[in-house]
Chains A and B, each alone.
Chain A
């Protein structure tokens, strides 16, 4: 594998800190294992490794800190296991809580921007078309590739921070032109225009894409050209939960996909799938394990809820209080926007509880399981059972609000036509 003169001096230890050498050893070793011919310089990083999985990861990051490792490119942090504004919100045993905190602190000490959000692209971190970056967190990876046209693979624990410290990533996969070409065509033009522009269609389509495409790069043709960031966020999160999806070309939206032929690199797709209305309904139903009846909570914000989503919730609630806890997971940047005009107080008065810096499927916050959790997020629905013991019910944001106010599932079938 080719290494530049500078990379060689870091690896030899003649330049930089021992922590720099450790990070580049990890990146170079991984590149060699992947069969990459060289490394690529990156312009930003988003770190998933700040979520506590065990003491070993904490000890590794603290060793990096001790050995002088500091990030070399703008780097944001994904969620940790704690709400730092309200540490008691998480029911972790005290020892684990302490270690989870130490892990978050270690990332700050390495120079990361403490964003603690899974939607960094809505917190000001927006790589641009063609930029090489090393991002973790599956939804953020998919959004960055799909919506912004920046280039990243799915980076995870340890490799993400090693890339941020070395400013480099293995040059393979989606960093390279030839691997970004779509091989599968997913055609949604047979669906009604009202369905494909409704908010709740996006996470459902995402869940379908993940199952259909897996790791394959696909192009989705026939979507409306003016989808919002929140809609695309929900689509990317759904796809990256049910499959190892890192890039979805959406014609007219993805900068590299003005049309399907361009996304396919001028070649015929290996597979064409025409999405029918029945397939959409089946995919929607698959996101609910509990059917109807009482609910114990509503969970919103996977990925983290935006200012606009919080305000839609407030409008839909129309002043009527919730009968079950409504957890809104969001970044502090969004909470500050709500505080500017007391919208946070209005939401709390309805019975909403804010979860910042973390979210309810990565750390124990929901009521004791078993229970039933309603959500408008395909990602929450996908991970609820395994991570929390709560059975998910999927619905629109309107359904979630009405169900929270009633204490049991209310579905409005109208939007599904």
Chain B
């Protein structure tokens, strides 16, 4: 099965989904050094977002969240991709600035009501086409 998403920032990624089951502000909610969710009471509290395909159905937008995601790029603790439920510029601005710094960037796409659950393995292509994939195994 595939889904066509809108590309905010183009790139390709392949990895495992971590879904935020409740909204979160990166500023005050994500530790920029460890990438762990620090917001007390959040369903994903204690999990790390590094190297995950992060699914964010809705975001609380502290504008300082741009700074937190840039710091994750700098510390090489960034997620592999962002799938946003709503069009939003706060996190993508951090990705745009990472590009200006010549640091590796990640794809950012918008898909309303993203259906992906934690643990699902996804591939995202340059055009925003999202597909499930089975990990290749050497048998």
Residue of A nearest to B97 (CB): A158
B8 in contact (CB, < 8 A): yes
From B8, B63, B70, A33 is in contact (CB under 8 Å) with B8
Assess whether A35 is in contact with B66, with CB atoms less than 8 Å apart.
Answer: no
From residue B79, how far is it (CB to closest CB) to chain A in Å?
Answer: 16
CA distance A164 to B63 in the complex (A): 16
Measured between beta carbons, the chain A residues less than 8 angstroms from B60 are 244
Q: Is A41 an interface residue (CB 8 A)?
A: no
Residue contact A157 to B66, C-beta cutoff 8 Å: yes
- Out of A26, A34, A51, A59, name the residue touching B74 (CB < 8 Å): A59
Please tell me if B89 contacts chain A, counting CB pairs below 8 Å. yes
B116: CB under 8 A from chain A?
no
Asked if residues B93 and A158 are in contact (CB atoms below 8 Å), the reply is yes
Please name all residues of chain A whose beta carbon is closer than 8 Å to the beta carbon of B74 when the two chains form the complex.
54-56, 59
B90 near A156 with CB under 8 A, answer yes
Q: Please measure, in the bound complex, the distance between the C-alpha atom of A155 and the C-alpha atom of B89, giving whole angstroms.
A: 10
Within 8 A of A (CB), among B68-111: 68, 70-71, 73-75, 87, 89-90, 92-94, 96-97, 100-101
8 Å CB interface, A59-118 against B: 59-60, 63
For residue A50, give the distance in angstroms from its CB to the closest CB of chain B: 11
Q: Please classify the interface of chain A as helix (H, G, I), strand (E, B), loop, or mixed, using the class held by over half of its residues.
A: helix
Report whether A34 and B87 are in contact in the complex, using a CB–CB cutoff of 8 Å.
yes
- B71's contact among A29, A51, A53, A136, by CB below 8 Å, is which? A53
Docked-complex contact B71 and A159, CB < 8 angstroms: no
- Chain A 138-171 interface 0/1 with B at a Cβ cutoff of 8 Å (1 = within): 1000000000000000111111000000000010
- Nearest Cβ on chain B to A380's Cβ, whole angstroms: 15
B61 interfacial contact with A, CB 8 Å: yes
Contact of A60 among B32, B64, B101 (CB under 8 A): B101
Is the beta-carbon distance between B97 and A60 smaller than 8 angstroms?
yes
Give the interface centre of A22, A33, A51 by most chain B CB atoms within 10 Å: A33
- Whether the pair A30, B96 counts as a contact (CB closer than 8 A) is yes
> What does the 1/0 interface line of A28-59 toward B look like (CB < 8 Å)?
01100111000000000000110101111101
Q: Are B101 and A56 in contact (CB under 8 A)?
A: yes
Task: Find chain A residues with CB under 8 A from B28 CB.
Answer: 386-387
The answer to whether B101 touches A156, judged by C-beta atoms less than 8 angstroms apart, is: no
Q: Is A25 an interface residue (CB 8 A)?
A: yes
Bound: A29/B100 CA distance, A = 11
CB distance from A8 to the nearest CB of B (A): 19
Is B67 an interface residue when CB atoms closer than 8 A count as contact? yes
B68 touching A53, Cβ below 8 Å = yes
Task: Indicate which residue in A35, A51, A54 contacts B32 across the interface (CB closer than 8 Å).
Answer: A54
A26 touches B100 (CB 8 A): yes
Q: How far is the CA of A138 from the CA of B60 in the complex (A)?
A: 14
Question: B71: which A residues are within 8 A, CB to CB?
Answer: 53-57
Complex interface: chain A residues within 8 A of B89 (CB)? 30, 33-34, 159, 170
Least CB separation from A63: chain B residue: B101
Residues of chain B within 8 A (CB-CB) of A157 are 63-64, 66-67, 70, 93-94
Residues of chain B contacted by A34 (CB below 8 angstroms): 87, 89
Provide the residues of chain B in CB contact with A60, threshold 8 Å.
Answer: 70, 97, 100-101
Complex: A49 Cα to B71 Cα, angstroms: 13
- Which residue of B has the minimal Cβ distance to A30? B89
Most chain-A Cβ atoms within 10 A of its Cβ — which of B28, B32, B61, B66? B66
A244–B94 CA distance with the chains assembled, in angstroms: 19
Given contacts A53-B32, A54-B71, contact A159 B66 (CB under 8 A): yes
**Which residues of chain A are within 8 angstroms of B65 by Cβ–Cβ distance?**
156
Contacts of B70 in A (CB 8 A): 54, 56-57, 60, 157-158
Q: B101 contacts A33, CB within 8 Å?
A: no
Within the complex, the shortest CB–CB distance from A211 to chain B, in Å, comes to: 13
Q: If A26-B93, A30-B92, A244-B61 touch, does A158 touch B87 (CB 8 Å cutoff)?
A: no
Instruction: Check B94 against A158 for contact (C-beta < 8 Å).
Output: yes
In the complex, what residue of chain A is closest to B94 when comparing beta carbons?
A158
Q: Which 5 A-B pairs rank lowest in CB-CB distance, beginning with the nearest?
A: A156-B63, A54-B71, A56-B74, A53-B67, A157-B67
Instruction: Give me the interface of A with B, judged by CB distance under 8 Å.
Output: 22, 25-26, 29-30, 33-35, 48-49, 51, 53-57, 59-60, 63, 136, 138, 154-159, 170, 244, 386-387
Given A30-B93, A59-B101, A244-B60, 10 further pairs, Cβ under 8 A: A26-B93, A56-B75, A59-B74, A60-B100, A156-B67, A157-B70, A158-B67, A159-B63, A159-B89, A387-B28
